[in-house]
Amino acid sequence: MRTDFETVLVAVEGGVATLTLNRPERGNAFNHTMDREFHEAMWALEAADEVRVIVVTGAGKVFCGGVDLEPAGDVFGAGAHEAHDAALGVDSDTVGERAAFWRMRTPVIGAINGSALGAGLTVPMLFDIRYVAEDAKLGFVFTRRGIFPEANSNWLLPRLVGLGTALDLLLTGRMFSGREAVEMGLASRALPREEVLPAALELARDLAANTAPASVGIAKEMIYAALREPDRMASMRLETKITWWLGTHPDAMEGIMAFLQRRPPQWSGSKHLELPEGLQIGR
| Three-state secondary structure readout of 153-202 | HHHHHHHHHCHHHHHHHHHHCCEEEHHHHHHHCCCCEEECHHHHHHHHHH
253-268 confidence digits (pLDDT tens): 999 999 999 999 999 9
Distance CA 283, CA 278 (A): 14
Instruction: Write down the pLDDT at residue 19.
Output: 98
Q: Can you list the alpha helix ranges (DSSP code H) found in the chain?
A: 32-47, 78-88, 119-125, 153-161, 163-172, 178-184, 193-210, 213-226, 232-246, 250-260
pLDDT at residue 278 in the model: 86
Q: What percent of the chain has pLDDT over 90?
A: 86
Q: What is the pLDDT of residues 64-89, one digit of tens each?
A: 999 998 754 334 444 455 555 555 55
pLDDT given at position 164: 97
Look at residue 86 in the predicted model and tell me its pLDDT.
56
Mean pLDDT of the chain: 92
In order of start, what are the domains of the chain with their CATH numbers?
8-208 (3.90.226.10), 211-283 (1.10.12)
Kindly indicate the confidence band of residue 119, based on its pLDDT and cuts at 50, 70 and 90.
very high
What pLDDT, on the 0 to 100 scale, is given for residue 8?
98
Write out pLDDT tens, residues 151-204: 999 999 999 999 999 999 999 999 999 999 999 999 999 999 999 999 999 999
Q: What does DSSP assign to residue 67?
A: B
Predicted pLDDT at 75: 47
Radius of gyration of the chain (CA): 20
Chain centroid, CA 169 distance in Å: 20
Rounded to whole angstroms, the Cα distance separating 281 from 283 reads 6
Rounded to whole angstroms, the Cα distance separating 28 from 64 reads 5
- Helices (H) and strands (E) in the chain — how many of each? 10, 10
Give 281's pLDDT tier (boundaries 50, 70, 90): confident
Q: Give residue 248's pLDDT.
A: 95
Residue type for position 31: N
| CA dist 67 → 75, 151, 243, 254, 274 (Å) | 9, 12, 43, 46, 37
Distances in Å between the Cα of 86 and the Cα atoms of 27, 35, 40, 90, 279 are: 25, 13, 16, 6, 38
Q: What is the pLDDT of residues 223-237, one digit of tens each?
A: 999 999 999 999 999
The model's pLDDT over 27-62, given as tens digits with 9 standing for 90+, comes to: 999 999 999 999 999 999 999 999 999 999 999 999
Cβ distance 187 to 109 under 8 Å?
Answer: no
Model confidence at 122: pLDDT above 60: yes
pTM: 0.92
